Amino acid sequence: MIYVLLPAYNESVALPLLLDQIRQVEWPNDEPYTVLVVDDGSTDATVPCCRARWEQMPIEIICHGFNRGLGAAMTTGLEHCVSCSGTGDTIVTLDADNTHSPSHIPHMLRNLRKGADIVIASRYVRGGAEIGLTPFRKIMSRGASTMLHVMFPIEGVRDYTCGFRAYTSEILQRGFREYSGRLIEESGFVCMAELLLKLGSIGAKVVEVPLVLRYDRKEGASKMKVARTVSRYLALVTINRARLRPNPSPENEPVNRVR
């Protein structure tokens, strides 16, 4: 089973377009899939537009009573997917604002089946790009990834912040177990970097595939609070520099380490 997790907050315009694209994905080996939308206290028609597609595609909706932030939406969604998943299942996460194209998913799944624990759709590998981002946002995103790469290098990873990823259910199950339910503690956008660092610290094997980020397709203003996000990235480094250490790996088993 493939679980497609979409954390959403006031995405009534973009989400229907994204769901229609997900319906058109050619899933490898016709593997079954389901979409999980975690509505983070939206005040628009996000939930009704999802319900309107119940008869067209497999879709579940979990609603937060108020806006709790991306970290809480990710935790809710990942915990639900992991609780439902079995061996060999996959969880794919992507933004609900239609800036991530679901057409990348089959390529990501093929790489996951080759032995990776996590596949990142990366803007910073050959073939990747960002369209529609302001120069400031490009500098901020690349700067955050560069800082994290220097402080917490994970083999094969250049894009630490993009939320478009595919995970094996096994690596997420292990992450929740190792971190005793505290796998995600950040409430905002920094949670995606935090999640990657923590899974990297337990030996996750990570590979990247190219992503063309289509920010020009985004409807409305960004929900990111820039000053708070920058401060939380700095806090992430400060807080986790000492405590993020890889656990001993099984003898002779190659792992990617966070140093």
pLDDT digits (tens, 9 = 90+) for 77-95: 999 999 999 999 999 999 9
- Residue 195: predicted pLDDT: 96
Whether residue 112 is contained in a domain is answered as: yes
Residues 6+ apart with CB under 8 A from 170: 87, 117
pLDDT at 126 over 60: yes
Residue 249 in domain: no
Query: How would residue 189 be classed by pLDDT, with cut points 50, 70 and 90?
Result: confident
| Pick from 103-107, 160-164, 166-170, 181-185: least confident | 181-185
Quote the number of domains for the chain.
1
Per the CB < 8 A criterion, the answer to whether 246 and 258 are in contact is yes
Instruction: Write out the residue range of the structural domain in which residue 46 sits.
Output: 2-240
Q: What is the CATH number of the domain that holds 229?
A: 3.90.550.10
Residues 2-20, mean pLDDT to the nearest whole number: 96
First to last CA, the chain: 33
Q: Tell me what pLDDT residue 174 has.
A: 96
39 in any annotated domain: yes
Does pLDDT of 255 surpass 60?
A: no
Q: Residue 178 contacts by C-beta under 8 Å, 6 or more apart in sequence?
A: 198, 202, 247
Q: What is the pLDDT of residue 186?
A: 87
Mean predicted confidence (pLDDT) in 225-239: 71
**pLDDT score at 259:** 34
Is 250 a domain residue?
no
Give 257 or 8, the one with higher predicted confidence.
8
Q: What is the C-alpha separation between 3 and 219, in angstroms, rounded?
A: 25
pLDDT, greater one: 162 or 143? 162
- Strand pairing class (165-168; 118-122): antiparallel
- Examine residue 40 and state whether it is found in any structural domain, yes or no: yes
Mean pLDDT (the chain, rounded): 87
- Residue 246 pLDDT grade (very low, low, confident, very high; cuts 50, 70, 90): very low
Task: With respect to residue 181, please indicate whether it lies within any of the assigned structural domains.
Answer: yes
- More reliable by pLDDT, 121 or 132: 121
Q: What is the mean pLDDT of residues 186-206?
A: 92
More confident residue, 36 or 251: 36
Answer whether residue 195 is part of any domain: yes
Of all residues in the chain, the percent with pLDDT exceeding 70 is 88
**Domain presence at residue 43:** yes
Strand order through the sheet with 118-122: 59-64, 33-40, 2-8, 90-93, 165-168, 118-122, 206-210
β-strand pairing of 129-131 with 212-214: parallel
